[in-house]
């Protein structure tokens, strides 16, 4: 049988890309502002040599990056596949581990591509709720009841996108044990983990767990789009083979520049992120406390996104469209994370835009409240 794949629409991306250019208050993206070349050089002291061969290509990843990642994750180069962003990393994991008819279990709310991609590949989604009432924590007990003989993969993000909630190592260990009993692997996307308010180790090393990540969110290197998979050797080999069908080789320059930053200044760049995120989190927290009548939240454990529940009885897409049209505020509808009644609010931008954006958001929400009750 010939399987024809059609790319399903990712509402979240289309919403962001279509509206961001016209937003006055962009409270929607999940990355911090990028590093300038000047900042980069201050952190690394690295410039590309004049005789750098622009034709060079590292099919199996630049050795500088693999070396650096081996230290970061306490693993060997055979555990690593370098990729073009966490997007390709996740794609390679899904396409290597899932076939038509397999089941995968995915946290909900969640990051849309992490179920649309495996569904596109013919796998069947099983939702695993992370409830607001339970502070968006993963519930390992429910997981056991969702596993069947067809389950091949359990998928979660840590920190959780969209809520910013951390799952601790012990819980991931329990999840991995439950998955292993059912013959499934666990994929943990750790793209936001270094944004935790206190430093947390990767969960690679827990048996049966593979992780993906990239330097696009916390480190200000989105333009390089360097990502990676850290997995048991056999799976890494499968993903590496799959990569021949996507990008073949990632950008050497990006990988080398990313490696120098991670090797020489990882902690400092994390501090840069934390300084900014902490300042903005204080602003958001104060605003949340003042507007409990409009929104309630689970305070994130890090990162620059949160997922408050609003008290209006309006679908999230309608609400967000209204906020955009009336106030030029860009926030993401909960529906795009498969959770109605929520918005994802980001606070990675500059403090002034955040402050005036939150004021505009108060007006926008009160406006909808009035119209709804008049």
Ligand X SMILES: Cc1ncc(COP(=O)(O)O)c(C=O)c1O
Binding site for ligand X (CB under 6 A): 30, 85-87, 111, 157, 161, 189, 191, 214, 216, 227
- How many helices and strands (H and E) does the chain possess? 11, 14
Q: Within a 10 A sphere around the Cβ of 262, how many other Cβ atoms?
A: 22
> In this complex, which beta carbon is closest to ligand X, that of residue 103 or of residue 189?
189
Contact 264, 41 (CB under 8 A): no
> In this complex, which beta carbon is closest to ligand X, that of residue 88 or of residue 291?
88
Alpha helices in 28-62 (DSSP H): 37-44
Contact 82, 59 (CB under 8 A): no
Q: How far is the CB of 192 from ligand X (least distance, A)?
A: 7
CA angle 28, 320, 356 (to 5 degrees): 55
Q: How far is the CB of 85 from ligand X (least distance, A)?
A: 3
- What does the alpha-carbon distance between residue 260 and residue 80 come to, in Å, rounded to a whole number? 17
> In this complex, which beta carbon is closest to ligand X, that of residue 166 or of residue 294?
166
Question: By beta-carbon distance, which residue lies closest to ligand X?
Answer: 85
- What does the alpha-carbon distance between residue 320 and residue 345 come to, in Å, rounded to a whole number? 11
Contact 110, 128 (CB under 8 A): no
Nearest 5°: phi and psi at 305?
-130, 155
What tokens appear for 140 in the block?
A: 């390992």
Q: How far is the CB of 148 from ligand X (least distance, A)?
A: 25
Q: How far is the CB of 15 from ligand X (least distance, A)?
A: 13
Q: Within a 10 A sphere around the Cβ of 284, how many other Cβ atoms?
A: 22
Q: How far is the CB of 161 from ligand X (least distance, A)?
A: 4
> In this complex, which beta carbon is closest to ligand X, that of residue 30 or of residue 327?
30
Q: How far is the CB of 93 from ligand X (least distance, A)?
A: 11
Q: How far is the CB of 282 from ligand X (least distance, A)?
A: 23
Q: How far is the CB of 348 from ligand X (least distance, A)?
A: 11
How do the residues of the chain divide into helix, strand and coil, expressed in percent and rounded to 5? Answer: 45, 15, 40
Q: For the purposes of burial, counting CB atoms within 10 Å of the CB of 186, is it exposed (0-12), middle (13-18) or buried (19 or more)?
A: buried
> In this complex, which beta carbon is closest to ligand X, that of residue 324 or of residue 337?
337
Question: Could you tell me which residues come within 8 angstroms of residue 157 by beta carbon, excluding any fewer than 6 positions away?
Answer: 107, 110, 111, 114, 188, 189, 190, 191, 192
Q: How far is the CB of 338 from ligand X (least distance, A)?
A: 14
Q: How far is the CB of 315 from ligand X (least distance, A)?
A: 23
Q: Within a 10 A sphere around the Cβ of 306, how many other Cβ atoms?
A: 25
> In this complex, which beta carbon is closest to ligand X, that of residue 27 or of residue 86?
86
> In this complex, which beta carbon is closest to ligand X, that of residue 287 or of residue 337?
337
Question: Could you tell me which residues come within 8 angstroms of residue 223 by beta carbon, excluding any fewer than 6 positions away?
Answer: 34
> In this complex, which beta carbon is closest to ligand X, that of residue 70 or of residue 87?
87
> In this complex, which beta carbon is closest to ligand X, that of residue 94 or of residue 287?
94
Nearest 5°: phi and psi at 311?
-95, 5
> In this complex, which beta carbon is closest to ligand X, that of residue 9 or of residue 286?
9
Q: For the purposes of burial, counting CB atoms within 10 Å of the CB of 173, is it exposed (0-12), middle (13-18) or buried (19 or more)?
A: middle
End-to-end CA distance of the chain: 57
């Amino acid at each position: 049988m010939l399987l024809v794949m059609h790319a399903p629409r990712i509402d979240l991306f289309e919403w962001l890309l279509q509206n961001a250019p016209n937003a006055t208050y962009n409270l929607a993206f999940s990355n911090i502002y990028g590093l300038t070349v000047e900042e980069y050089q201050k952190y690394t002291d690295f410039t590309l040599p004049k005789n750098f061969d622009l034709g060079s290509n590292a099919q199996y990843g630049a050795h500088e990056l693999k070396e650096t990642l081996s230290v970061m994750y306490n693993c060997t180069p055979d555990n690593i596949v370098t990729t073009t962003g966490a997007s390709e990393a996740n794609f390679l994991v899904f396409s290597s581990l899932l076939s038509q008819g397999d089941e995968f279990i995915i946290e909900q709310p969640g990051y849309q591509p992490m179920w649309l991609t495996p569904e596109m590949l013919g796998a069947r989604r099983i939702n695993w709720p992370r409830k607001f009432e339970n502070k968006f924590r993963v519930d390992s007990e429910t997981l056991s009841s969702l596993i069947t003989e067809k389950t091949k993969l359990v998928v979660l993000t840590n920190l959780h996108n969209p809520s910013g909630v951390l799952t601790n190592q012990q819980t991931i260990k329990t999840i991995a044990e439950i998955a292993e009993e059912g013959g499934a692997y666990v994929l943990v996307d750790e793209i936001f983990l270094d944004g935790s308010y206190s430093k947390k180790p990767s969960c690679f090393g827990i048996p049966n767990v593979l992780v993906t990540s990239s330097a696009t969110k916390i480190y200000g290197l989105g333009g390089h789009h360097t990502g990676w998979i850290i997995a048991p050797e056999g799976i890494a080999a499968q993903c590496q083979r799959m990569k021949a069908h996507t990008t073949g080789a990632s950008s050497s320059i990006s990988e080398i520049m990313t490696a120098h930053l991670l090797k020489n200044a990882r902690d400092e760049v994390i501090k840069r992120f934390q300084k900014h995120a902490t300042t903005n989190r204080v602003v958001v927290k104060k605003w949340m406390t003042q507007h409990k009548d409009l929104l309630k939240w689970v305070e994130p454990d890090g990162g620059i996104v949160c997922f408050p529940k609003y008290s209006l009885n309006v679908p999230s897409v309608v609400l967000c469209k209204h906020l955009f049209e009336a106030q030029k505020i860009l926030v993401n509808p909960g529906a795009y994370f498969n959770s109605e009644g929520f918005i994802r609010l980001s606070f990675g931008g500059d403090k002034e835009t955040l402050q005036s954006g939150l004021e505009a958001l108060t007006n926008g929400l009160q406006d909808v409240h009035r119209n709804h009750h008049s």
